Chain A
Amino acid sequence: MLELEQVCITQRLHNIDLKVGRGQHWHILGENGAGKSTLLQLMAGLLEIPHGHCRLNAHDITDYSLPHLARLRAYHAQQYTLPFDIPAQQYISFYGQRLTAATLPAAIEQALDVAALLPRPLTCLSGGELQRINLTRAIWQVWTAIANAKALLLLDEPLQGLDVRHQLTLMKFVEQLVAAGNTVVLSSHDLNLSARFASHALLLKQGQAVACGNIEQVCTEANLAQAYGLAFDISNNQNALQIQPRWSSATT
């Protein structure tokens, strides 16, 4: 569905190759400033690509018009402070169909628990609540495409600020979307959640790919140590990888 070929962005990304197939669930991993957000932005068609290609359904992403992209790809950015006291419901409605507690899809409500937040002004929400509203906004914008199983969801650190329960419900929801045939690429700092839910991963360090492919192939002790400069213990527990940083050698 989405294909990157030798993508370079000066000082941020170097020679990235990536093939995201339809119905795959990718996580982009790496330390702060590794280039995760930049990569998601260019996949969303929001950045000029000076070198290399980014193709969506075999067409260069720059060939799509922004209004066309807006209907099939969702993009969630890291937090942005809004200067206006807009009620959450109205804010979300600007980017899609009119959203009310009645039209809010049950699946979104189950995952993000936002019905109670809808009437509240954005400035009166906590960080995690605002994050859930922003995720709802991104998903709602492409809800028709999601229903047709054609959506591409690009989420920049969707787990940031969420409590444990909402992290889980969100990942379960993403799992459902992917199972239905939608494609999801998100960035994450939670290696255990990524190992548990992602089908594939791309591990970045200083704009370069350390490893790329199936989640089990990417999450190895050697790869993680290289990307994070930290030793990890990885164990397999009931078919899910458990990834623990090795505290004793935390200062390498």
Chain B
Amino acid sequence: MKHPITLVTGVLAALVVLLSTAVLLTDWQADVDNTLFWHMLTQLQLPLVVTATLVGAVLAVSAGSLQVVLQNPLADPGIIGITSGASLIAAALLILQPVQTVIPAVYLLPLGCFAGALASTWLIYRVAKRLRGAAMAVILAGIAISTLAGAVMAWLYVIADAQALRNLTFWLMGSLYQADWLVLSVAGPVMLLSVGYQLTQARRLNWLYGGEAMAASAGVSPPQLIRRTLLASALGVGAAVSVAGSIAFIGLLVPHFLRQIVGYNNVVLLPACALCGAAILLGVATLSEYLHLVTLPVSMITATLGGPLLLLALYKGQWKQHA
């Protein structure tokens, strides 16, 4: 029982270190002089590594805890519409405001993402509460929110100019290359705190597996736990969207596959999710660095890999629902 847990965690941690080093040393062999190398390292590769690590970790951990809180193994910030809510507000802010006021946008964008993420999380929580037990209905509601956000963004295409169009692709498909230290200085700590907070709640989240009454009898106030966890994950996902746009599938697949290996104990599962999410996005970063695919939207890669895996899991009946 103990053995695979330490093994998996070890392998994931090693992968994170390995891939970060790989990304950092992209330009090493190129015969560039030292100052240029250091400049690229600190201004390009390092923000890339930090973005990939934090975004991957926060998306996977938030999905893991959302699945417990919403009592739904299919919950994922992407699928239930949290990322698209955040993206929509950010894109709308970018396009609807005059280009001259770009500077405050650095602070405005994260705020917009937080607002969008919180609003869609609140909405989905209301739906989940109303349709207690109907797991599929929550997913459908999430799809409705995503579709609506997508449609509104498509309308924004109509009124957007060429520069804004590029930005829209970013908000729809995600990218790890938009982040610089300025943006990261706002969103980074939020993501870090969000992951940290959710990890501290892991033991209490275990109690929610048996439902709210069981959690209460085990010694935690469920409404409080649920509210705080939702808030933490919404803020974390909002921050992730503000630096990397919307990235699909990480949250759905990472907790699901890790549960098959390390089990359901969130004290083990959530840290493993953080490592695995980080490793996957670092892998994507490594791939696009070495294959020179910088313009590739992240969601394209994660969806290319994740879509078939999702279908496979569904086909094998791993998401049997009683509802």
Question: Taking beta carbons and an 8 Å cutoff, which residues of A are in contact with B?
Answer: 41, 44, 46, 65-71, 73-75, 77, 80-87, 90-91, 93-95, 123, 134, 137-138, 141
Among B11-19, B174-182, B218-226, the one that faces the other chain is: B218-226
Of B206, B216, B221, chain A has the most CB atoms within 10 Å of the CB of: B216
The listed residue (A67, A73, A94) touching B209 by CB distance below 8 A is A94
Cα A66 to Cα B214 in complex, Å, equals: 11
On chain B, the residues within 8 Å of A91 by CB distance are: 209-210, 264
On chain B, the residues within 8 Å of A69 by CB distance are: 217, 219
The listed residue (A80, A83, A90) touching B265 by CB distance below 8 A is A90
Tell me if B302 counts as interface (CB < 8 A to partner A): no
**Inter-chain contact A137/B210, CB cutoff 8 Å:** yes
Q: A75-B213, A80-B213, A86-B209 are in contact. Are A95 and B218 (CB under 8 A)?
A: yes
**Please, which residue of chain A has its CB at the minimum distance from the CB of B267?**
A94
Total interface residues on B, CB under 8 Å, equals 26
Tell me if B77 counts as interface (CB < 8 A to partner A): no
**Inter-chain contact B263/A95, CB cutoff 8 Å:** no
**Inter-chain contact A70/B209, CB cutoff 8 Å:** no
Of A41, A65, A71, A84, chain B has the most CB atoms within 10 Å of the CB of: A84
Cα A46 to Cα B212 in complex, Å, equals: 10
The listed residue (B207, B219, B263, B321) touching A87 by CB distance below 8 A is B263
Q: A83-B135, A83-B321, A84-B73 are in contact. Are A77 and B214 (CB under 8 A)?
A: yes
Tell me if B71 counts as interface (CB < 8 A to partner A): yes
**Please, which residue of chain A has its CB at the minimum distance from the CB of B68?**
A84
On chain B, the residues within 8 Å of A41 by CB distance are: 213
Tell me if B211 counts as interface (CB < 8 A to partner A): yes
**Please, which residue of chain B has its CB at the minimum distance from the CB of A89?**
B1
Q: How far is the CB of B58 from chain A (nearest CB, A)?
A: 22
On chain B, the residues within 8 Å of A73 by CB distance are: 217
**Inter-chain contact B265/A66, CB cutoff 8 Å:** no
**Inter-chain contact B217/A90, CB cutoff 8 Å:** no
On chain A, the residues within 8 Å of B320 by CB distance are: 85, 123
Which residues of chain B in 186-208 are interfacial with respect to chain A, using CB atoms and an 8 Å cutoff? Answer: 206-207
Given contacts A81-B133, A90-B263, 18 further A-B contacts (CB under 8 A): A44-B217, A70-B219, A77-B213, A77-B214, A80-B213, A81-B323, A82-B210, A83-B72, A87-B263, A91-B209, A94-B206, A94-B210, A94-B218, A95-B214, A95-B218, A123-B320, A137-B214, A138-B217
The listed residue (B209, B214, B218, B219) touching A84 by CB distance below 8 A is B209
Q: A90-B263, A141-B217 are in contact. Are A95 and B207 (CB under 8 A)?
A: yes
**Inter-chain contact A80/B218, CB cutoff 8 Å:** no
Cα A70 to Cα B217 in complex, Å, equals: 6
Cα A70 to Cα B214 in complex, Å, equals: 10
